[in-house]
Amino acid sequence: MLKRLFSLRNLLNNKDFVYAVTLFAIIGTISFLFYEISKAEVTVVQEGEATTVRTHANTVEEVLKQLNIHVAEHDKLSHKLNDIVSSEMKIEHTVADQVIVRQNGEEKVYYTTADRVEDFVGEVDLNLREHDQLSVAMDNKIKDGMIVDILKAFQVTINDAGQKEKVWTIGATVEELLAKTDTTLSELDRVEPKQSAKIKDASVINITRVEKVTDVVEEPKEFATVKQSDASLTKGTEEVVSEGENGVIAKHYEVVLENGEEVSRELIKEEVKKESQDKVVAVGTKEVQETQQPTPSSTDTKTVATAEKNTVRTTVSRGSESSSKTIYMHATAYNWDCPSCDGRGLTSTGYDLKANPNGVVAVDPSVIPLGTKVWVEGYGYAVARDTGGSIKGNRIDVHMPTQKQAMSFGSKRVKVKILE
């Protein structure tokens, strides 16, 4: 042992040996430094994250393998796999995302490295027409497994009160389409089909514009003719005391218009703007008796002639009462403007009651033939010009100029003279 220790001490004391060891250490250090310096510095960027490595790899593919990065078929790589690695090289790797496009029940799978939907649509041919739409917004970011539906547009006709317009839609409801086209509806307007209905291809949306307006119509209120008995006038004569004057009545109608055309009209109010003035006629009641001279003798021819010249005769203007037949009948009264009348004012014989409201009676033709002149107690002279559904047998209906007068007449038993 002592001998070995002596030999090692001698070796360390040997200057040549120490020099050799030192030189070997320097060479090793230099070699290591040269090895490290000779490595290339490469930066790999993937999914926005950068990784920097120093490597002796010769190609891009070797660098990626060194980092356990797999490049799929549809991925995007900034360099080719067999490109030679150089110092300060920047390799960018973008992983492709899967996008599923659905249209008309069919699916098609795409792989893309686009950042947004708009970029994806620009790089693939989806056969989009001008008005077609996608189920996702164009500025949405692409995500792996994203589903995109293509909504094909079609034309719909909007018929707005006869004005037709064709618009494009992807199949919204009627309400949504009208809102999109800034079509407003009033409370009364009608839409077919209903607003909640789903729109189909080639549909027609019909809009009926409905409005209610008030129409005021002024009509004449015809005057009535009132006859008054006058004992100072000879019976059978008449004299106008005061002329009649028509009034004015305003009728308010609620009118319903559909697409500008009137479809209904309802009377909601009547307003008398000017009262009518009755025509007053005085009817003579004075009886004029015939005055005859004493019957002359057969021998006094001159006296006979004188007596004949002095005879005064009275003519009855409405028939000869001396040849009349008197019957008792049940009498009522009516007016042409009654609620159940047709409003034309014409009798069954075509006689105009509106123009000639006085001296007309309705009869049963089997009792009093039409056209017969009569005298009715409490009414006066008249002509049978009308019939009635309830006027049967010994019944007579006298026409009054106004409904008020007809109601005042009432129902009564009267004496009727049939004048021949």
Question: Which pLDDT tens digit goes with each residue over 287-309?
Answer: 766 544 444 444 443 333 333 33
- pLDDT (0 to 100) of residue 285: 84
pLDDT at site 304: 31
Q: Which of residues 230 and 163 earns the better pLDDT score?
A: 163
Using alpha carbons, list the distances in angstroms from residue 43 to 61, 132, 348.
13, 43, 115
Residue 57's pLDDT band, with cuts at 50, 70 and 90, is confident
Summarize pLDDT for 136-175 with one digit per residue, the tens: 999 999 999 999 999 888 899 999 999 999 999 987 899 9
Distance in angstroms (rounded) separating the CA atoms of residues 230 and 379: 15
Average pLDDT of span 195-202: 86
162: left (phi over 0), alpha (psi -120 to 50) or beta: left
Burial classification of residue 166, based on how many CB atoms lie within 10 Å of its CB (0-12 exposed, 13-18 middle, 19 or more buried)? exposed
Find the mean pLDDT for residues 26-48. Answer: 68
Residue 185 neighbours by CB distance under 10 Å: 15
Q: Which residue has the tokens 């100072």?
A: 232
Which two structure tokens, joined as six digits, stand for 233?
């006038």
Phi, psi angle pair for 381, to nearest 5°: -75, 145
Which of 220, 174, 221, 170 is CA-nearest to residue 193? 174
**Mean pLDDT score, 162-190:** 91
Instruction: Decide: pTM greater than 0.75.
Output: no
Confidence of residue 122 (pLDDT cuts 50, 70, 90): confident
- Residue 331 clears pLDDT 70, i.e. is over it: yes
Residue 15 confidence (pLDDT): 61
Nearest to 350 by CA among 392, 386, 383: 386
Q: Name the least confident of 8-22, 78-92, 96-110, 331-345.
A: 8-22
CB atoms within 10 A of CB 361: 24
CB count within 10 Å of CB 257 equals: 15
- Give how far Cα 360 sits from Cα of 354, 356, 385, 415, Å: 12, 9, 6, 16
> What does the pLDDT average to over 315-328?
58
CB 356 within 8 A of CB 390: no
Q: What is the mean pLDDT of residues 169-197?
A: 91
Phi/psi of residue 384, each to 5°? -75, 100
Report the pLDDT value the prediction gives residue 318, as an integer from 0 to 100. 42
Q: How confident is the model at residue 255 (pLDDT cuts 50, 70, 90)?
A: very high
Residues 182 and 200: their CA atoms lie apart, in Å, by 20
d(CA 389, CA 386): 11
Burial class of residue 174 in the structure, from the number of CB atoms within 10 Å of its CB (0-12 exposed, 13-18 middle, 19+ buried): buried
Buried b (16+ CB within 10 A) or exposed e, 219-244: eebbbbbbbeebeeeebbeeeeeeeb
Residue 18 has pLDDT above 80, yes or no: no
Q: What angle do CA 208, 209, 214 make, to 5 degrees?
A: 135
Instruction: Say if residue 400's pLDDT is above 70.
Output: yes
What does the pLDDT average to over 382-395? 92
* pLDDT score for 3: 54
**What pLDDT does 141 receive?**
93
Q: Check residue 217 and give its pLDDT.
A: 92
Decide if pLDDT at 69 tops 70: yes
Length of the chain: 420
User: Among 126-140, 144-158, 314-328, which stretch is predicted with the lowest mean pLDDT?
Assistant: 314-328
The whole-number average pLDDT for the span 278-284 is 86
Please give the share of the chain, as a percent, with pLDDT higher than 70: 82
Residue 53: partners with Cβ closer than 8 Å, 6 or more residues away: 41, 42, 44, 63, 66, 67
Q: What are the tokens at 41?
A: 């510095």
DSSP 199: P
Q: What is the mean pLDDT of residues 239-263?
A: 90
pLDDT of 34 over the 60 cut:
no
